Structure 1
Amino acid sequence: MNIITRHKYLFLFLSILVALPFLIHLPKVKTVDNVDYFTLENHPDVLFYEKFKQIFGNDEFFVIAIKKDPLFTRENLELLKQITNDIEQINGVRKVKSLANVNDTIGEDDFFMVRPFLEDIPEEPDDLNKLKQSALDNPLYLKNFISTDGKTAAIVVSVYEKPEDPGFRKKLLKECDAVLEKYKDRTGKVFKAGWTTTNLYLSQYMKQDIATFIPITYILITLAVFFFFRNIYLTGVAVLNISICMGSTMGLFPIFGITLNNVTTIVPPLVMALALCDIVHIFSHLDRQVLVESGTMEKAIANTLKKVFLPCFLTTLTTAVGFISLYLSDIPPIKDFAVVASCGMIFEFFFSFVFMPPFLLLFNENKIFHKKKDKGTLHSRLKKTSGFVFEYYKPICIAGLALIIASLWLSSMIRVETNLLDYFKRTDKVRQSIGFVETNLAGIGTLDISLVSKTQDGFKSPENLKIIETIQEYSSGLEGVDKVMSFVDFIKDMNQSFHNEDPEKLKIPDSKALIPQYLLLYDSDDIDDFINESFDHARISLRLSHHSTRDQEKMIQSLRQFIDGLNTDDLEIRITGRALQDVNTIDSLVKGQIYSLATAACIIIVIMFFVLRSVSLGFLSIIPNLFPIILNFGIMGALSVSLNTATALIAAVAIGIAVDDTIHFLSQVKSNLMAHQDIKAAVAGAILTKGKAIVLSSLILCIGFGVMAFSRFVPTINFGALSAVIMITAVIGDILILPSAALYLTRWGVKFHKL
């Protein structure tokens, strides 16, 4: 440490030189206008899904819902036609379907023809009512293009997949909004819902979070430092050091090809808060007594750095281990978070010990060193806490054990799921639009069943079509399935029309010869979404209103069991679609959470044993680190907070951060024991010596995590709130549980002084 303070200008220059290559990349940091990155890499189901989409087209769509009462007037139907035609012209739109352009099969005996449903819009009320009834009677239209009450019309917009253009949804929806704006006086309120809109809004909310998090974190951290130390110069140095640390970390994003997304957006406030923790530990030792004992400012700062270097290094190491353990996840954005967050820890340690000390030496010593106040409010409260621990250590241990047992029981109630609707607040327009569409029409979630015949034209066979029908009927009866469509629906419609619209003929024809005949007469591409050209690959499409991956998993398991029970020797049947990808992602998330937490915990425990060089102290260190994590899962279970893409990060992140204060505390306990103090005196001294820095750093972390409460993204809010609670419970673990456990174990003959 002496070399840094002796050659302050050299190290100041070197630290700036290190920061510059990263800082110059800051303008290149990119955000994306989608959340397509939440997919598993090289998973078999993902690879099959991509091939499936190449055959039947991209399954992404969104619904534009317009409510009119009455809907079937000439004016409203003309309006529907105009909007449909205009949206068809938008670049990136693959297909647009509504009552305005959907085909209708009109039949007579032994003949039918296909023509647009709204080929001619009648003027007479009776004719309009007949048209309405015709739409409501058609199963191909109902809940797809028209609500069951006949008052809501839907325009279903299918889009192309454009992975090479991350912003295509934003441009497409902007043009769509421009179209709807032209007709707003005639349409009234319009609702848009579907993966296209949800995807975009999730990314837009992330951008708003970044614009909110950074300035608010700056303001709160600046106020916190000034409140804690009442020194404008130290406040300025802290803010500058944090800025360089955060800027360097953000500069890594373009270097590593990482974008700001809904996971990595929490990196800036997190790194800023953690950077301030080391600063607090350094600043808390800058009292005038150290200056007097050292003789010069250079020696005083060097001596201060020597005191905190090892604990700060270890806290940086353990926090980085907690972060990098998340790299075991199969989900790209979590891997990205692991990389940049762990690198951020390296930056914060480097700049706190290489940049900040030389920079402090540029100031007058009277502006930096403060008079130690032993009788401050916090000190007196810590002294009372110490006395409380000595008097009630047994009840504290019992209470802590009871909380752990209760939390373990409550944690069994945690729901492992991702729920699309729960990503948004109840007042959010996205959630309201989804609610309207799914109440009046069909769900916006999708699941598909792929059926491949071993023979060409296999799905011109009534036997295979009846298998599709059987699966379709079973699927329709599942809770959360709003609409099921397949090639069979069109064949049944053709059969009914071929027999002069006889309602009893709405079924699959028994004659194998009739199906090819129907297909010759059917002059429309409507079936292309459900059957391939060689008629050996069919698709059953399910529209879902259940967005919970837990419910979707039950649905998928039920379908698989039903399909396995069918006699389908000639067919290869496989479930695919977006819902399956979501279920697989959350399953991988949970497994990754377990691996990450176990890996981080094992490495950190080994580090603690190695550093403390004491089996008893090593085991003692486990208690305050597991306490907040177990309590966190208990709170999640009690409050019905699900384990999802955001909350799954908490345990691995928390164990890396929570151990920081334990290291500082037990390092002081060990130092006191080596000075031949008994365990009681060693613990009391650690509480008074390290208590203030522990409390202040935890409060700062609460501020850093608390900033996330300003997010519009509910999982981020939950992540911030639960992480803040962990920081509070970690203080309880270090100041109350750990000393009490040490005193209690001493009564049982455990010797902590044998190091």
Structure 2
Amino acid sequence: MNRILRYFFLVLFIALTAFVPFSVIDNSLEVWIDHNTQEGKKWQEFINEFGSSEFIVVGIKSAVDPFQKDILDQILSLEDRLEKIQQVEAVVGPGRIYRELFLDKSIASFQKEMLDSPFYQNLIIGKDKKTLGIFLYLKKLPARPTARKEITQAVEKEIALSKNSQLDFAVVGPPILNAHLDRASQSSSQKLVPVCILIVFFWMIFMVRSWWSSLVVLFTMGLSIGATIGLMVIFRTPLNMLTIAMPGLLLVLNITNAVHIVHRFHELSHSLQDREKAIALAMKELSMPCIGASITTCVGFLSLIVSSMPAVKQLGIFTASGLLFGLAANLYIVPWFLNARWNSVPNHTSFLAMPAMKFALYSYRNYILVNAVAIVLFILALFVSSFYQIEANTLKFLPEDHPVVQDSQFISENLTGLYSFDLEIHIAKEKETPWHWMEKISRGLEKNPAVARVYGPTDLLKKMNSIASDDPKDYQIPESKEAIDLMIVSMEKMILQEWNRICKDKESRIRISILVKAMSSHIYKSIFDDINTIIASRPPFVEINTTGIITLLIQSEKDLIYTQMESFGISAIIICIMLAFFLKNKPMTLASIPDNILPPLAAFAVMVLLGIKVNTGTVIVASIAIGLAVDNTIHICQRLNCVLAEKNNLEEAMVETLKIAGSPMIASSFIVSIGFTALLLADFSPLVYFGGLTIVAIFVALLCDLVWLPALLRLFMQKK
């Protein structure tokens, strides 16, 4: 039966791994929001009513006076080409404004209009009076993961054709940022993960003293990870900023069991001088601890399915699948390959066993001191962790010198906002549209330092009024309703097109966009406070909804943290139950609980002390920490149960347990942590944080199991 299962899992893993080249990365909004929530439904209704809320801004940097005919012709040519891109709905820029409204007038009059009219400022022309802007309004993008990448490539291609010694461009917008985040995460992973694997391989050779055993472990772990990603491809699930870290996560969690098997096999081969018996006995001893560790961690990750966020659910489901694949690899493929005839088993000396035993002995004999210090550290970590901060600015995931970061800085400083809040205003039927009230709140919102511009229908009304009177001083809303109605029906074609984009159902449903300079949680809080003040003072026949990409991203970021914390609590409870089931020893289970909670708390405390904010790149560390701690704890406790069956002395049993289990624990921790140092060189900050905090979590989990667990076991088990 074992032989059949070996071939079955080997063929299955190879078949699934063949799908890896077809995996894609998608960090689009759809990955993070649940369309069944109230916010998701609001956003969908908004999209159905007003069209896509995504846009692209092209900032034009001119080395010469931009108000020259040849420069305007170049800009117009670019605008016409951009409008031909499949997913572009409309293009608004200086070239088109000149052609539609000023072609029969002088360029000097066009320049005066652009420079003097408030309508264009912080939108089409910047504060420096030289930077011009082109807005691309997008259609609702297809659901496929590559949609934003495709439109980004198309826009960048057209812009590249227009670059010359006179004109340069900066390009920003949610689709642009999304595409570059995909590129950065994919590029960093492709460059550094192989380096990480090589470091792990060579360090493992040093630790286990066998190149073949090291190759077996990495090959089988690679197969199980490849099978997991292949499974995602089959279920049409793209990778994202959470699941991109899953290969490293699975390597950390699965390699522990593999190293335990290799170490025990080497020990028994050396003592028994019989490879067949050694592998059989090693698997007999370690099968249940491996099953217990993997199943417990697997169930913990499955608790993530309680999340309302699709990306978090995917992380839980596919990480659990990867853990089961890793378990199958460790139970069937690793022993099979270790037993190969050409595997030269080293003259095994567990040089790490001595420090493990010394730690256990010191901890056991000084258990009161160790427990006291550990409890103080536990409380301190819990206290410090409570000061965590959430960061929603995904732009900070990229290095400062990245083109998108540089372009974003240029646009926000010289032209307009980078992101948009949207206010959806509903006016009761048969009620007069409160244009003057909308103008008042728009200009009030612009007083917030984080707001670059508030754009809505009142801007178009003021512009039409100034055009009708041919006097820039008349840039204001007409006083009478009749004058406003007449202005609406007599709008120029270009302005009417824009009016119909933001006003629906006979002006009873209106869109106002708040263009924001930067994206961070404290900035959004100040804007939300202003919006809440507006909502509280609105006319009784007016209803206001806040929606749009940024609102959903902020909510998704908060939901991510909340669901991770919630699932962490659920997984902690489930893991305690699973520990009780596998250990079947109440005092031992009670001793294991605080030992497994401290590592994730310590990881969060280190984040707070280093000023690292909680985001999609760091929140997964808690899962890694508790997964590592649980794996090592089960191996120690299962081994201790076996030793206690032969020895009645808890101190001797503890030393004997760490003599056998301590060495692979230390070896696996060092192997993975040194391999993960490669991620510290990434240009993509989530990978840097993931690598650094994982190393911290690994060592805290190791210290807890080597130092605190023996003290806890004595505290809870000495009477027994």
TM range, smaller chain: over 0.9
Which residue does 1:357 correspond to in 2? 335
Q: Secondary structure at the match of 2:52?
A: coil
Which residue does 1:548 correspond to in 2? 520
Q: Which runs of 5+ in 1 are unaligned?
A: 105-114
Contact 2:617 2:687 in 1 (8 A): yes
- Whole-Å separation in 2 of the counterparts to 1:648 and 1:172: 30
Aligned-pair distance for 1:558?
Answer: 3.5
- Whole-Å separation in 2 of the counterparts to 1:717 and 1:174: 27
**CA displacement 1:46-66 (0-9 Å, x = unmatched):** 222222223322121111112
Contact 1:600 1:656 in 2 (8 A): no
Aligned-pair distance for 1:33?
Answer: 8.2
- Whole-Å separation in 2 of the counterparts to 1:287 and 1:512: 90
- Whole-Å separation in 1 of the counterparts to 2:466 and 2:156: 39
**Cα distance change, pair 718–35 in 1 and its aligned pair in 2 (3 A):** farther
Which residue does 2:408 correspond to in 1? 434
Which residue does 1:299 correspond to in 2? 277
Counterpart amino acid of residue 356 in structure 1: V
Is residue 532 of structure 1 aligned with residue 516 of structure 2?
no
Count of equivalent residues = 716
Is residue 467 of structure 1 aligned with residue 467 of structure 2?
no
Q: Secondary structure at the match of 1:102?
A: helix
Q: Secondary structure at the match of 1:190?
A: strand
- Whole-Å separation in 2 of the counterparts to 1:306 and 1:160: 61
- Whole-Å separation in 2 of the counterparts to 1:559 and 1:20: 55
- Whole-Å separation in 2 of the counterparts to 1:593 and 1:173: 32
Contact 1:678 1:753 in 2 (8 A): no
**CA displacement 1:466-502 (0-9 Å, x = unmatched):** 2212321232123411100111112223334444416
**Cα distance change, pair 678–474 in 1 and its aligned pair in 2 (3 A):** farther
Q: Secondary structure at the match of 1:620?
A: helix
Identify the match of residue 604 of structure 2 among 629, 633, 638. 633
Is residue 245 of structure 1 aligned with residue 245 of structure 2?
no
Which residue does 1:320 correspond to in 2? 298
- Whole-Å separation in 1 of the counterparts to 2:711 and 2:718: 14
Aligned-pair distance for 1:542?
Answer: 0.5
Contact 1:275 1:345 in 2 (8 A): yes
- Whole-Å separation in 1 of the counterparts to 2:22 and 2:65: 53
- Whole-Å separation in 2 of the counterparts to 1:656 and 1:379: 23
Which residue does 2:80 correspond to in 1? 85
Which residue does 2:532 correspond to in 1? 560
Contact 1:314 1:663 in 2 (8 A): yes
Counterpart amino acid of residue 85 in structure 1: D
Contact 1:276 1:700 in 2 (8 A): no
Q: Secondary structure at the match of 2:512?
A: strand
Identify the match of residue 134 of structure 1 among 109, 113, 117. 113
**Cα distance change, pair 323–653 in 1 and its aligned pair in 2 (3 A):** farther
Which residue does 1:572 correspond to in 2? 543
Contact 2:303 2:570 in 1 (8 A): yes
Which residue does 1:424 correspond to in 2? 398
**Cα distance change, pair 22–388 in 1 and its aligned pair in 2 (3 A):** same
Identify the match of residue 445 of structure 1 among 413, 419, 425. 419
- Whole-Å separation in 1 of the counterparts to 2:492 and 2:600: 63
Q: Secondary structure at the match of 1:452?
A: strand
Q: What is the TM-score with the length of structure 1 in the denominator?
A: 0.89
Which residue does 2:241 correspond to in 1? 262
Kindly report structure 1 stretches of 4+ aligned residues shifted beyond 6 Å: none
Contact 1:298 1:361 in 2 (8 A): yes
**Cα distance change, pair 664–716 in 1 and its aligned pair in 2 (3 A):** same
Point out the structure with max Rg over C-alpha: 1
- Whole-Å separation in 2 of the counterparts to 1:706 and 1:659: 23
Identify the match of residue 151 of structure 1 among 130, 136, 140. 130
Identify the match of residue 345 of structure 2 among 369, 375, 379. 369
Aligned-pair distance for 1:395?
Answer: 4.2
Which residue does 2:101 correspond to in 1? 116
Contact 1:100 1:117 in 2 (8 A): no
Aligned-pair distance for 1:431?
Answer: 1.0
Contact 1:62 1:194 in 2 (8 A): yes
Q: Secondary structure at the match of 1:287?
A: helix
Which segment is superposed worse, 256-265 or 534-543? 256-265
**Cα distance change, pair 325–716 in 1 and its aligned pair in 2 (3 A):** farther
Which residue does 1:64 correspond to in 2? 58
Contact 2:587 2:713 in 1 (8 A): no
- Whole-Å separation in 1 of the counterparts to 2:435 and 2:191: 55
Which segment is superposed worse, 66-75 or 223-232? 66-75
Is residue 47 of structure 1 aligned with residue 41 of structure 2?
yes
Identify the match of residue 629 of structure 2 among 658, 665, 669. 658
**CA displacement 1:258-282 (0-9 Å, x = unmatched):** 1222222222232234332221101
Is residue 199 of structure 1 aligned with residue 173 of structure 2?
no
- Whole-Å separation in 2 of the counterparts to 1:119 and 1:624: 79
Q: What is the TM-score with the length of structure 2 in the denominator?
A: 0.93
- Whole-Å separation in 2 of the counterparts to 1:287 and 1:147: 70
Q: Secondary structure at the match of 1:647?
A: coil
**CA displacement 1:197-218 (0-9 Å, x = unmatched):** 1011111223213422442233
Q: Secondary structure at the match of 2:616?
A: coil
- Whole-Å separation in 2 of the counterparts to 1:594 and 1:490: 46
- Whole-Å separation in 2 of the counterparts to 1:355 and 1:289: 19
**Cα distance change, pair 209–355 in 1 and its aligned pair in 2 (3 A):** same
- Whole-Å separation in 2 of the counterparts to 1:576 and 1:487: 18
**Cα distance change, pair 212–326 in 1 and its aligned pair in 2 (3 A):** farther
**Cα distance change, pair 136–406 in 1 and its aligned pair in 2 (3 A):** farther
Q: Secondary structure at the match of 2:172?
A: strand
Percent identity of equivalent pairs: 23
Which residue does 2:149 correspond to in 1? 170
- Whole-Å separation in 1 of the counterparts to 2:122 and 2:478: 25
Contact 1:593 1:648 in 2 (8 A): yes
Q: Secondary structure at the match of 1:467?
A: helix
User: RMSD in angstroms over aligned alpha carbons?
Assistant: 2.6
Contact 1:315 1:657 in 2 (8 A): no
Counterpart amino acid of residue 605 in structure 1: C
Which residue does 2:448 correspond to in 1? 478
Contact 2:371 2:708 in 1 (8 A): yes
Aligned-pair distance for 1:631?
Answer: 0.9
Aligned-pair distance for 1:311?
Answer: 1.1
Contact 1:102 1:117 in 2 (8 A): yes
Identify the match of residue 681 of structure 1 among 652, 655, 661. 652
Is residue 614 of structure 1 aligned with residue 585 of structure 2?
yes
**CA displacement 1:676-716 (0-9 Å, x = unmatched):** 34333333333322211111122233246445435433223
**Cα distance change, pair 280–103 in 1 and its aligned pair in 2 (3 A):** same
- Whole-Å separation in 1 of the counterparts to 2:27 and 2:642: 53
**Cα distance change, pair 346–165 in 1 and its aligned pair in 2 (3 A):** closer
Is residue 508 of structure 1 aligned with residue 499 of structure 2?
no
**CA displacement 1:91-135 (0-9 Å, x = unmatched):** 32211111111279xxxxxxxxxx52465453xxxx3xx643431
Which segment is superposed worse, 628-637 or 671-680? 671-680
**Cα distance change, pair 751–176 in 1 and its aligned pair in 2 (3 A):** closer
Aligned-pair distance for 1:637?
Answer: 1.5
**Cα distance change, pair 298–655 in 1 and its aligned pair in 2 (3 A):** same
Contact 2:253 2:624 in 1 (8 A): no
**Cα distance change, pair 223–336 in 1 and its aligned pair in 2 (3 A):** same
Q: Which runs of 5+ in 2 are unaligned?
A: none
**CA displacement 1:292-340 (0-9 Å, x = unmatched):** 54x7432221111111111111111122123222222222122222111
Contact 2:416 2:453 in 1 (8 A): yes
**Cα distance change, pair 700–331 in 1 and its aligned pair in 2 (3 A):** farther
Q: Secondary structure at the match of 1:542?
A: strand
Counterpart amino acid of residue 331 in structure 1: M
- Whole-Å separation in 1 of the counterparts to 2:5 and 2:627: 29
Counterpart amino acid of residue 602 in structure 2: L
Aligned-pair distance for 1:24?
Answer: 4.5
